[in-house]
Structure 1
Amino acid sequence: MRLQLLSDLHLETEAFEPAPAPGAELLVLAGDIDTSWCAFERFADWPVPVVLVAGNHEFDRREWNEAWPALRALCERAGITLLEREDMVLTGADGRRIRILGTTRWSDFDLFGEAQRERAMRAARYYVDVMRATRNGAPLDAAAVREEALACRAWLAGELSRPRGDWDATLVITHFAPSLRSADPRYGAQPGTASFCNADDDLLPAAEVWVHGHLHCRHDYVVTHERGQTRVISNARGHARKGEAEGFMPLRCFEV
């Protein structure tokens, strides 16, 4: 299956017009598409199925318990499939069945181990303050983010441990990155990196392809393990004013 992958478009401020990639069979939106949600209408008449995994900025200045059902309803009206701890199976033009697992998979701040967790959570205050989201009326702080992250991790681990069913390959979609290997080279490994990457390297062998967003840089690398190889891909655009969109290829297709 050939998929077009877009994330971190930030269409609430960025001037960019998404267009269908020739030959794509699926469009994956890996989060941080538009803080205002207005741009989701642009994908309403997309020529192929559209799957969305929400990014952290989809919740900016919103109440968690209200945002999820509202975002789901908006996606249903636009014909977009929103996945949050949910799976689906699609059949490609080649007849192969692809199992898709989707979840935001928030930061659990354990990227550098439990001993560094508190330090990583302190560093997370910046992006939590930028979001200014709430849950049950209280600020969606680092502790609340970690709680949600652990629930995402538990679901994903459970799904990936299932015996192979009537599918030929597994595609995982998360907003947050699954490995330190996806760290932005501009910043490297520092406490704040745990707000962008998780230590999900142990889950990689159960997927053929894992796509993510969140970091405003592109990645396409292969992890070799005892079960074979897993390809990890990010095709994030980022902010043009910071030079992050340089090298972004919105019409590129990736094979699963």
Structure 2
Amino acid sequence: MRFQLLSDLHLETEDFTPQPAPGAEMLVLGGDIDSTWQGLSHFRDWPVPVLMVAGNHEFDDRDVGATWPVLRAHCESLGIRLLERESLVLADARGRRIRFVSTVRWCDFDAFGESRREKAMRAGSYFMHVQRSTQGGRPFDADLVREEGLACKAWLAAELAQAPVAWDATVALTHFAPSLRSADPRYGHQSGTASFCNADDELLPLADVWIHGHLHCRHDYTVVHPDGRSTRVVCNARGHARRGEAEGYDPLFLLEV
């Protein structure tokens, strides 16, 4: 299956018009498309099916729990299939069945281990302040983000562990990165990196491909496992042009599974 991959477009501030990639059988949106949601209208009547995982900025200035049904309904009205703690099996033109396993997978701040968790959570409080979200009327702070992140991880681990029955390949789709291998080279492994990357390396062998966004840089690397199998990890985030992050960005990038 060949699909176009777009994430971190930030259309609430960026001047960018997405275009369908020739040859794509599907469009996958990796989150942080537009914090106002207005930019999602670009994908109405898209020529191929559109799958989306929400990013953290889809919840800016909103209550996380209350937002889910509203965001789902909005995406559905545009013909976008929003996946959160859900799996979906789709067949490509050759009849090959691809399972998409998707969740935001909020960070749990354990990217550097338990010993550095407290420091990572303090650093993460800055990003929560920028997002200005709530959860059940409470500020969606680092503690609540970690709680959501652990719930996402538990679901993801259980879902990925299912033995292949009705699919030929598995694609994990998360907004947050699954590994420190995806850390932005501009910032390295500082405490704030744990707000972008999780330590889900033990789950990588359960997916053939892992797609993520969130970091405003591109990644395409392969992790080889002890049994000889491998997982391709891909991020095609655009980021902010004013910071030079969009330089060299390929909006027509195709990923084949």
TM range (shorter): over 0.9
Deviation at 1:247, TM superposition (A): 1.1
Letter in 2 for 1:78: L
Deviations 1:33-71 (A, max 9, x none): 000001111101101110010000000000122211110
Query: 2:222 aligns to what?
Result: 222
Structure 1: gaps spanning 5 or more residues: none
List aligned pairs for 1:122-201, cutoff 5 A. Answer: 122-201=122-201
**CA displacement 1:5-26 (0-9 Å, x = unmatched):** 0000000000000010000011
The amino acid of 2:246's aligned partner reads A
Opposite residue 238 of structure 1, the aligned amino acid is G
Aligned partner letter, 1:236: A
In 2: Cα distance, 1:206 partner to 1:134 partner: 33
For 1:216, give the aligned amino acid: H
Instruction: For 1:162 and 1:101, locate their aligned partners in 2 and report how far apart those are by CA, in whole Å.
Output: 11
* Aligned residue identity for 1:156: L
Q: Which runs of 4+ in 1 moved over 3 A?
A: none
Partner SS, residue 74 of structure 1: helix
- How far off is 1:163 after superposition? 1.0
Give the distance between the partners of 1:187 and 1:20, measured in 2 at CA.
Answer: 32
Query: With structure 2 as the length reference, what TM-score do the two structures score?
Result: 0.99
Structure 1, residues 100-120: CA drift from partner, whole Å, max 9, x if none?
001000000000001110000
User: Secondary structure, in 3 states, of the residue corresponding to 1:158?
Assistant: helix
1:213 match: secondary structure: coil
Identity percentage of aligned residues: 66
The code of the aligned residue for 2:31 comes to G
Matches within 5 A, 1:57-72: 57-72=57-72
In structure 2, give the amino acid aligned to 1:158: A
- Residue 116 of structure 2 corresponds to which residue in structure 1? 116
Question: What one-letter code is carried by the residue in structure 1 that aligns with 2:239?
Answer: G
Render the CA deviation track for 1:200-237: whole Å, top value 9, x for unaligned. Answer: 00000010000000000000000000340100000000
Match of 1:237 in 2: 238
Alignment length (residue pairs) = 256
**CA distance, structure 2, for counterparts of residue 64 and residue 198 of structure 1:** 20
Match of 1:8 in 2: 8
Which residue does 2:36 correspond to in 1?
36
Where does residue 256 of structure 2 map in the other structure? 255
Residue 94 (structure 1) shift: 1.9
Aligned residue type for 1:189: H
The one-letter code of the counterpart of 2:159 is E
Task: For 2:210 and 2:165, locate their aligned partners in 1 and report how far apart those are by CA, in whole Å.
Answer: 18
Q: Which one-letter code corresponds to 1:14 in the other structure?
A: E
In structure 2, C-alpha distance between the alignment counterparts of 1:186 and 1:138, rounded to whole Å: 33
Deviation of 1:93 after TM superposition, in Å, equals 1.2
Instruction: Please give the TM-score of this superposition, normalised by the length of structure 1.
Output: 0.99
CA deviation after TM superposition for structure 1 residue 31, in Å = 0.4
One-letter amino acid of the counterpart of residue 171, structure 1 = V
Indicate the residue corresponding to 2:92 in structure 1: 92
What letter is aligned with 1:127?
F
Report the Cα distance in structure 2 between the residues aligned to 1:65 and 1:129, rounded to whole angstroms.
Answer: 18
SS in 2 for 1:124: helix
Q: Distance in 2 between matches of 1:46 and 1:189?
A: 38
Match of 2:74 in 1: 74
**Cα RMSD (Å):** 0.6
Secondary structure class of the residue paired with 1:144? helix
Read off the aligned partner of 1:231 and give its amino acid letter: R
